[in-house]
């Protein structure tokens, strides 16, 4: 049975899931809600996501929401089934480090980048004080990442779910804030590796068709 993802192809959280599906070679169907207001209706809240968020993934009768949880589920069940891509290493110590970088992304990176995306692209207020502060915070965060990536192609050495989680947000703001990334050689090379992965290109192709 084909996996079904409820979500908008252009949304960063949905892109995180579709990139994971593409990395693992898993067939899937993307079903965007007919209207954004639908995800706040009683049926959606009761049966799909209690806080009215997307994406939501169905694997047969199994339902799971929240993009990072969805991706971890997909890795746990399907890693190695369709291809040889490893997103979470089998070694417990290496897997622990991947989780470490995932938490860095969740707590220090994504909250800052998300503020910029919301105020620049959604609220159309790029000159707000919130954006200015967020850009200063992102500058500091990327400075840390440049050190983390010293001598490595990816955060944990080999490409992993942690790297995958970082790119969707970066994709949306890089064009307007390339200087923050490009002035740091390790970050710039890392970003280029991520955006050139076939799985990401496949997610963008679907995005552009919807």
Q: Are strands 56-59 and 3-6 parallel, antiparallel or unpaired?
A: antiparallel
Residue whose tokens read 């207001």: 37
Helix (H, G, I), strand (E, B) or coil at 174: coil
Token reading at 7: 């979500």
Residue whose tokens read 């891509």: 85
- In this predicted model, what pLDDT tens digit does every residue of 120-145 receive, in sequence order? 988 899 899 999 999 999 999 999 99
What is the structure's pLDDT at 198?
96
Average predicted confidence (pLDDT) for the chain: 95
End-to-end CA distance of the chain: 23
Token reading at 54: 């997307």
For residue 191, what is the enclosing H or E element?
A: helix 185-195
Give the separation between CA 143 and CA 32, rounded to whole angstroms.
36
Q: Is 54 left (phi over 0), alpha (psi -120 to 50) or beta?
A: beta
What is the structure's pLDDT at 209?
56
For residue 58, what is the enclosing H or E element?
A: strand 56-59
What the chain holds in terms of domains, given with CATH numbers, is 3-85 (3.40.30.10), 92-198 (1.20.1050.10)
Region 187-193: mean pLDDT is 97
Give the separation between CA 194 and CA 187, rounded to whole angstroms.
11
- Whether 206 has a pLDDT exceeding 80, the answer reads no
Helices and strands of the chain, counted as H and E runs: 10, 4
What is the structure's pLDDT at 93?
98
What is the structure's pLDDT at 121?
87
Residues in the chain: 210
Give the separation between CA 195 and CA 82, rounded to whole angstroms.
22
Q: Are 15 and 203 in contact (CB under 8 A)?
A: yes
**Cis peptide, bond prior to residue 190, ω within 30 of zero:** no
Region 174-185: mean pLDDT is 94
Give the CA diameter of the chain. Answer: 50
Give the separation between CA 187 and CA 153, rounded to whole angstroms.
9
């Amino acid at each position: 049975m084909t996996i079904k993802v409820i979500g908008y192809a252009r949304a960063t959280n949905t892109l995180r899931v579709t990139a994971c599906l593409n990395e693992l070679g898993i067939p899937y169907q993307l079903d965007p809600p007919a209207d954004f207001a639908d995800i706040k209706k009683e049926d959606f809240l009761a049966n799909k996501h209690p806080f009215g968020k997307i994406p939501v993934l169905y694997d047969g009768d199994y339902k799971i929401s929240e993009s990072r949880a969805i991706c971890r589920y997909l890795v746990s069940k399907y890693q190695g089934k369709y291809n040889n891509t490893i997103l979470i290493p089998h070694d417990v110590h290496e897997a622990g480090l991947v989780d470490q970088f995932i938490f860095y992304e969740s707590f220090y990176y994504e909250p800052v980048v998300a503020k910029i995306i919301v105020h620049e692209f959604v609220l159309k207020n790029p000159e707000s004080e919130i954006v200015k502060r967020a850009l200063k915070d992102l500058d500091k965060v990327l400075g840390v990442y440049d050190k983390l990536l010293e001598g490595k192609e990816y955060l944990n050495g080999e490409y992993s779910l942690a790297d995958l989680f970082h790119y969707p947000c970066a994709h949306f703001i890089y064009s307007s804030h390339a200087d923050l990334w490009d002035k740091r050689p390790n970050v710039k090379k890392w970003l280029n590796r991520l955006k050139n992965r076939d799985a990401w290109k496949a997610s963008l192709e679907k995005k552009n068709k919807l």
